[in-house]
A and B are shown apart, each in its own frame.
Chain A
Amino acid sequence: MSFHPNEVAHRTRIAAGTLVVLFALLLSAFFRTQIVENSRYALQSEENRLREVPLPAPRGIIYDRHNEVLAENVPGYSVSLLSPSADSLRASLQRLAAIIPLSADAIDLSVRRYRRAPFRPTVVLADASFDVVSVLEERRIEFPGLIIQSAPKRYYPDGPAVGSFMGYVGEITESELASPRYRGYKTGQQVGKQGLEKEYEDSLRGREGVRFVEVDARGRVVREAGARQDLLPQTGPPLYTNIDLELQKYVVNIFGDSLQGGAIALDPKTGGVLALYSAPSYDPNRFIGGIPPDVWKALNDDPRRPLYNKVIQGRYPPGSTWKLATAAIALETGTATLDDHMPEPCTGGFQFGNRYFKCWDHKGHGSLTLAEAIEQSCDVYFYQLGLKLGLSRLVAGGIRFGGRDKSGIDLPDESRPLYPYADAEEYYDRKYGKRGWSQAVLLNLAIGQGENAQTVVNMARFYTALATDGTESRPEIVRHKPDRTRVFSLTDDQMAGLRAALAGVVASGTARSAQIHGVVLAGKTGSAQNSQDRTRDHAWFVGFAPADDPKIVVAVLIEFGQHGTRAARIASDIIKDYLKVAPTQHINTEG
């Protein structure tokens, strides 16, 4: 090699220069990564090491009007697993299945949950028993991603008594997750499924907290706490309802195991729901932590339909209870006064065209005033009143009184009543064809039969207007500021007359057996033709008491109850219990 000092010095400069440039380049690369892009990488390293474990928030406690607890939270345990992959989760679950009860379906379900949210702990058991938890705690070391934590568990102290309006909670389903209503929810969370729990979900749920655990590259939990400040869950605010738990339990008792139907009691001044019961009921506690499939099947297959709410979902022809609507329409439009007689007296039936329409009482009522016709529930009088009103006025009045509207009770899944729409001619044309119907439909409509099916809650709503000054209040379980809307425009005298006629129903009319000693009860019985069994009508009673200053409106429907008197006696008992009046003997007459 050439080894002249000058050449060597020249090469030394090149070599040293190259070295310095190379190291400067390396250093600048580190500067870019560590200083310029630091925040990005710092975040990534935090995400690497920390896993969020959700801390479920206790749901808001639900109280009745006397601050008795209707729904509360009790301590429970949930078991979940953190896993780096679905396969590893499946392997862990299969090992778990060897020591705790875990079905193959449950394993599949957990793997599906994992796929939805791989970085959240996968819920294995939402409601683990203490025995399972202690077995797992002992063998924790074998399951590195295992997370056992206390999870508040919903509990309804009066279970089946409150099931009709309470609903229940359960794990959010995949279809719920997909709907915009549940945006922001995560898989594995509990959500209100029915009743109040669903209606007030947004408030009751509170806010989920977060606990951070540190995991290593294989998803093993290496540090439980102290990884970062936890975010504590926030309990949902309490819910104060209008329910009177004592009255509710009383209603439940009356229905017992044999009766099937529904009842609702309202405070006519506020619309507050004092009691709401659909018989038979179910125990919402059975749904907590996942309902066993056999229990679910039994509930679903029960012919008495315990999961079907007969107060807000069931639609029944209102029968004679609707006669008050017909009467009010007649008074409002000036078609009749309370003292008016109809052209033909009741002889037990009414000939219309080539058809003969019977009165419920074949003996006949003779010539009656409107007030008397209400008391006696005379069909013949109302047939003629309906004809006098005419189809469009009758239908328009029914619509104005809310016959086509939901009551607006604060419960999900309320059914809309069935009733003709405003253009009644077109409605019937469409239903039966252009010449397929006659004015005879009027006769049926006027006595609450025909194209009319109402929910129990909607009839109760309508009667709050009768019980007050013609304004109604939306039925509400949760205490809100009452929101009154006008239903009738009747004079005070007309209102008083209607109420007196209703009181007469109980005093001397069809509901005599429901009299309460010392209290004037006003109300109307009704029989709803039953499409399932023509010989056994559904029995209605809608009424209020005391008649001069109503404090409670009750609507009762007994499926297959045959005659309204049965419903009237139940309503009477409910009112007596609420008004704390000493019970009197029933007079056992049918009429």
Chain B
Amino acid sequence: MARRVVVDVPLVLTALVLSAYGVAMVYSAGQTDVPTSATHAWLSQIRWLALGIAAAYGVSRASVRFYEWAALPVYALSIALLALLLVIGTGAGTATGTKSWIAIGGIRLGQPSELAKVTVVLMLARVLAARREPPKSLLELWKPAVIVFIPWALIMMQPDLGTGIVFIGIFFAMLFWSGVPFPLLVLVASPAVSLLLAFNTSLWGAWFLLLLALVLWYKPFMLEGVGLMTANVVMGVVAPILWQRMAPYQRHRLLVFLDPSIDPRRSGWHVIQSQVAIGSGGWLGKGFLQGTQKRLAFLPEQHTDFIFAVLGEELGFIGVTVALMLFLSLRLRAVRIAERANDSFSSLVAIGLASSWLVHIIVNVGMTLNLMPITGIPLPFFSYGGSFMLACWLAIGLLSRISSEGRGAKVGELAI
């Protein structure tokens, strides 16, 4: 007799509402005064949504154990695809210059990095769940670090900064969930922080002293401590040199992120127009389909990366609040599923998937308000894009499965 599979109603319902909201916005984004290729994007988006829901159902039929078993082969496959991409990849959208798509005969089949996000989560969960105790020293972290580093490095070579950030988010969230002590997380992150603070000597000095205190208190192995401090010093020194060696356009990009009005006609233009769109929305917005910034093509990439600006302009602060609340409840539901999961692998997978979305949302939405650099990473359930929609729904299917295998799954949930 087949095991009863149940659907996590709050999870799936929230995802459905978000998807419908998203399709509506993709439709609106296509309604411009001068028709563009985005005019009919919403139809394709609906097809991908249907495919995604079907795939989610399929995914939810298989046991979590199957995914645990499959983690290594699919991980290997995704690494292979990412490597292949560097040779034959093509670009699209805001990322026209990068190689993130696999295309055969001009037809883009999908972005392997979407697949890699899931496989890295599975692989990390498997490695971390295999340990009885959480890693307590830096040396013990080598395995998870390598698992993330390989795809991360391949993606950064495309280059795709946004997706790279997602992997870092996944890495830290899963380490945290597996019980790695907070000070150790700080130590792991410290070289990167050094790199960012290197531009201001006194700030970096303060950070360095703080780190020194942390090392003395946490007492890692001598070698680790020394290595870590060395890494921080190197980063602090290297960053200014790196800045010197950066191409002018790269520096320019960084500066424009810090102050978009430096360059109101080029990269900064996108951000300014996005802010104008959102800011002019007010409480209730200009009305569905009525956004002038969108309609008159002042918004760039309005159906993909900047879809949230369309939402902000047309539906106002109320519409933004509703969307963010839906996202928040989806995330909280995922955390709850992780909490009640039957085993540590499932729990880690749930957290990994949730953290991947979180990074997407923060970076994408933050970008529309110039709180984050323009990286071209999409907004789950909203941004137009087939493979991403599919990936989001695969994750929903997986989460639903984990939920149904977890404790307390019978309460308030629907059996299929």
The chain A residues found within 8 Å of chain B, CB to CB, are 1-3, 7-9, 11-12, 14-16, 19-20, 22-23, 26-27, 29-31, 33-35, 37-38, 40-42, 44-46, 48-49, 214-218, 220, 222-223
Contacts and interface: CB of A to CB of B under 8 A. Distances in A.
A111 to B, nearest CB: 19
Contacts of A218: 297
Would you list the 4 A-B pairs with minimal beta carbon distance, nearest first?
Answer: A41-B279, A1-B178, A45-B280, A216-B296
Contacts of B133: 2
Scoring A1, A15, A27, A220 by chain B CB atoms within 10 A of each residue's CB, the highest score goes to A1
B409 interface: no
Contact of B292 (A2, A19, A29, A45): A45
Given A2-B134, A8-B347, A49-B292, A35 B177 contact: no
Contacts of A49: 292-293, 296, 298
B320 interface: yes
A26 B361 CA distance: 10
Interface string B302-343: 000000000011001100110011011001100110110001
Q: Is the interface of B mostly helix, strand, loop or mixed?
A: helix
B34 A216 contact: yes
Contact of A29 (B313, B316, B371): B371
A39 to B, nearest CB: 9
B396 interface: no
Contacts, number: 139
B366 A1 contact: no
A9 B293 CA distance: 46
Contact of A19 (B129, B179, B335): B335
A222 B320 CA distance: 29
Nearest to B173: A15
Given A8-B347, A217-B298, A45 B293 contact: yes
Contacts of B178: 1-2
B33 A34 contact: no
B235 interface: no
Nearest to B320: A30
Contacts of A216: 33-34, 295-298
B33 A222 contact: yes
A215 B297 CA distance: 10
Contacts of A14: 176
B362 A41 contact: no
Given A30-B278, A215-B296, A216-B34, A19 B369 contact: no
B111 interface: no
A3 B133 CA distance: 9
A35 B134 CA distance: 46
Interface in B344-368: 344, 347-348, 351, 358, 362, 365-366
A448 to B, nearest CB: 70
Interface in B269-297: 273, 275-283, 292-293, 295-297
Given A19-B328, A23-B328, A34-B316, A29 B276 contact: no
A145 to B, nearest CB: 13
Nearest to A1: B178
A214 B328 contact: no
A22 B358 contact: yes
A48 B276 contact: yes
Contacts of B365: 26
B128 interface: yes
Contacts of B283: 34-35
A216 B366 CA distance: 26
Contact of B34 (A34, A42, A222): A222
Contacts of B295: 216
A466 to B, nearest CB: 71
